[in-house]
Amino acid sequence: MSLGRRFSSGVAWMSVGVWVEQTFNFIIIAILARLLGAEAFGLLAMAAAFVLFSEFLVRESISDILLTRDELSPTRLNSVFWLLALLGTVLMALLFLAAGPLAGFYSEDLVQNLLVGLSPTVMMIALTAVPVAILRRQMEFRVLALRAIVGAVIGGIVGIGMALSGYGVWALVGQRLAVTTTNIVMAWGAVSWRPGFSVSRKHIREILHFGHRILGLRAAELAAVQAPVVIIGALMGPVQAGFYAIAWRVVEIASFLLITPLRMVAQPAFAAVTREGGKAAYLLKDVMQLIGFVAIPAFAGLAVLSEPVLILLFGQKWTPAAPTLSLLSVFGMYRCIEKIHQTFCLAAGRVGRLAILSWAEVCLATLAIIVTAPYGLTVVMAAFVAAFLILWPIRYGNLAGISGLSASMLARLHFAPLLLSAIMAGIVQGVVWPLAGWPQVGVLLLGTLTGILAYLLLARLVLPDRLRLLMSMIRTGAGHGEAADYSKGIEG
């Protein structure tokens, strides 16, 4: 199978897995939100901020060196595995030690127990990172898709069962532990490799050289979205933290649905193109066109329809989170496009500058949140989003230097989708504005249908090439049509 066809097939499988998984997650979160309320979600978000930070450092960090263009060996795999095991042990121990002080920082005693209960997931994920990287490198995305779906189902059953049994916020902890355990079993069952004790100083040096940069990048990436929970929880209380948490969860799921299939497949594909002597920049251009064409209008629609989305999914009591969701939708556009930037840099093994830039964004965003906290959650979110957009042009310059494409050309890929999405959002707003008093499901369905039809009509007139690229990818992923042969340097 050609690389182009493997890429399209991988995107198709990952799309199925991600969409089915997140459909289950959405249903589960909606049920749990109705059963548990904002305070439970706020308390979990305050504790989970540090656990998720630690998980992120071991999930797609050091193991990403296995997805670069370099060849694999048992010694290289063993070296990565044991370094991750050591990192997971250290992070889990730090969470245990920090649980008490963090509970005092929040003035919420329950946070200590929640941190201790969630912390084992860090080690569990660290011990599974290498099998997952092997599956990604081999482009075995069918296995990864099924793993995601089964984990979501089992986690949902456990979480809802515990909520109905009166466990309160601990239902969310049980859900997370069940998902992680299922993912471990399925990942190890799908690979034949097992860790040994043969390691190499050369490989460890290479991994550490790559690892400290990517750990810095991953830390900054997660700090960017968890810092608001910590600061809002400390300065504004758990209810406001809960409103942020649920709005961010909607954006996170939406971006996960849109970007994960492309991101998971693109990283090993970029590296494979380079190994086979092709031009990874050609594939980068196609992926950038696809994500901008799909993600920008999707989040523009979410921004306009934030209130009916929240009411329909979580209930009337979550209406105050609507302005936060609208503003975070702009961040969702940024996040999806930035993930492709990051994926290309990771495949090239060049993440040092990206990590520095990411931490600059975190510092600026944190300062903006602290300064604006007295003015309410909506102002906080506006400042948070603005902090990232200010530095966005620098990211394009960094990507241009690595890919060999011009920064202006890369940025121009998104100008037309932005303009068409703004027009579409105006049309949707005009349609739903007179519908006050309608059932929220009717407002959401009519607004969504209007947005899709308006954007497709505009795209057919202005961006027919993007429509053809999207349809070509869909047909190839379904087993029909020819895929672009990027390994031979032919632009798709």
Q: Give the pLDDT score at 323.
A: 94
Q: Give the pLDDT score at 8.
A: 72
Confidence of residue 484 (pLDDT cuts 50, 70, 90): low
CA dihedral (76, 78, 81, 83) positive or negative: negative
Confidence of residue 276 (pLDDT cuts 50, 70, 90): low
40 or 310, which is more confident? 310
| Separation in Å, CA 25 to CA 22, 191, 236, 240, 483 | 5, 26, 28, 22, 32
Confidence of residue 144 (pLDDT cuts 50, 70, 90): confident
Residues 103-131 have pLDDT tens digits of: 888 878 888 888 899 999 999 999 999 99
**Helices first, then strands: H and E counts in the chain:** 19, 0
279 or 422, which is more confident? 422
Mean pLDDT of the chain: 85
Angle at 462 between CA 457 and CA 464, to 5 degrees: 80
Residue partners of 176: CB distance under 8 A and separation at least 6: 48, 118, 121, 155
Q: Give the pLDDT score at 69.
A: 58
CB 106 within 8 A of CB 233: yes
Other residues' Cβ atoms within 10 Å of the Cβ of residue 99: 21
Residue partners of 408: CB distance under 8 A and separation at least 6: none
Q: Give the pLDDT score at 230.
A: 84
11 or 440, which is more confident? 440
Residues 433-464 have pLDDT tens digits of: 888 778 888 999 999 999 999 999 999 999 99
pLDDT value at 491 more than 70: no
Residues 237-246 have pLDDT tens digits of: 888 888 898 8
Q: Give the pLDDT score at 489.
A: 44
pLDDT value at 293 more than 90: yes
Q: Give the pLDDT score at 477.
A: 54
Q: Give the pLDDT score at 372.
A: 93
Poorest-pLDDT segment among 235-249, 260-274, 399-413, 421-435: 260-274
Q: In terms of Cα–Cα distance, which of 354, 331, 333, 334 is closest to 342?
A: 354
CA 71 vs. chain centroid, Å, equals 28
Average pLDDT, integer, range 242-254: 88
How many angstroms separate the CA atoms of 308 and 147, rounded?
Answer: 32
Other residues' Cβ atoms within 10 Å of the Cβ of residue 389: 13
Q: Residue for token digits 């069918």?
A: 142
Q: Give the pLDDT score at 259.
A: 85
Residues 49-82 have pLDDT tens digits of: 788 878 877 887 788 888 775 677 888 899 989 9
Report the SS3 class of residue 201.
helix
pLDDT value at 278 more than 90: no
Q: Would you state the structure tokens that stand for residue 398, as one six-digit string?
A: 């960094």
Report the SS3 class of residue 437.
coil
Q: Residue for token digits 């590296």?
A: 271
Residue partners of 477: CB distance under 8 A and separation at least 6: 8, 9, 11, 12, 15
Q: What percent of the chain has pLDDT over 90?
A: 39
Q: With 0.75 as the threshold, say if the pTM is over it.
A: no
